[in-house]
Amino acid sequence: MKSMTGSPVREEHAEVPGAAGRAPGRLLAAGGAIGALLASSCCVVPLVLVTLGVSGAWIGNLTGLAPYKPYFLAATVPLIGTAFWYVYSKPRKACGEDAACTPAASGRMTKTVLWLAAGLALLAATVNFWAPLFY
């Protein structure tokens, strides 16, 4: 491409790490959150709903997922573990001298979802120990 004076214009396309660089961490955190919700849907969710005063016959249907809780936890733990590795300790690429560079840190929302999913998965895994205290 030429400028108005006839001299060539140099086009530079510098890669700026942004949302695309954080996408795997977001996907892993979301997968971990979904797995944690599924793992806790048989035991933790009904207990929380009853504690909050929500009731209904449909809550009893959630216990039908109890046989699948170990499978949900088995899928959730690797997702959450990989997400923690990706968000907190994955080596970051260094920026070039001339390239505009923004920090490639994961967003606050991704970390929040990740920690909530880890807590919910921990609650689901240990519900048999602490749930009798509420009955």
pLDDT of 118 reads 92
Closest alpha carbon to 22 in 111, 98, 121, 129: 111
Task: Grade residue 4 by pLDDT with cuts at 50, 70 and 90.
Answer: low
Query: Does position 42 have pLDDT exceeding 70, yes or no?
Result: yes
- Rounded mean pLDDT, 35-46: 81
At residue 35, does pLDDT exceed 60?
A: yes
Query: Apex CA 39: angle with CA 34 and CA 40, to 5°?
Result: 100
Tally of residues, the chain: 135
**How is 71-132 classified by DSSP, letter by letter?**
HHHHHHHHHHHHHHIIIIISPPPPPPSSS-----PPPHHHHHHHHHHHHHHHHHHHHHHHGG
Residues 6+ apart with CB under 8 A from 15: 99
| Max mean pLDDT range (17-21, 48-52, 56-60) | 48-52
Bridge partner residues of 8 (DSSP): 2
Please tell me the distance from the alpha carbon of residue 44 to that of residue 120, in angstroms, as a whole number.
8
DSSP bridge pairs for 2: 8
Residue-level pLDDT at 16: 42
Q: How far is CA 18 from CA 25, 28, 116, 125, in A?
A: 12, 17, 24, 35
pLDDT of residue 78: 92
- How confident is the model over 72-115, as pLDDT tens digits? 889 999 999 998 988 888 766 666 665 555 554 447 888 888 99
Which pLDDT band, with edges at 50, 70 and 90, does 11 fall under? very low
Contact 121, 77 (CB under 8 A): yes
Residue 127: per-residue pLDDT:
82
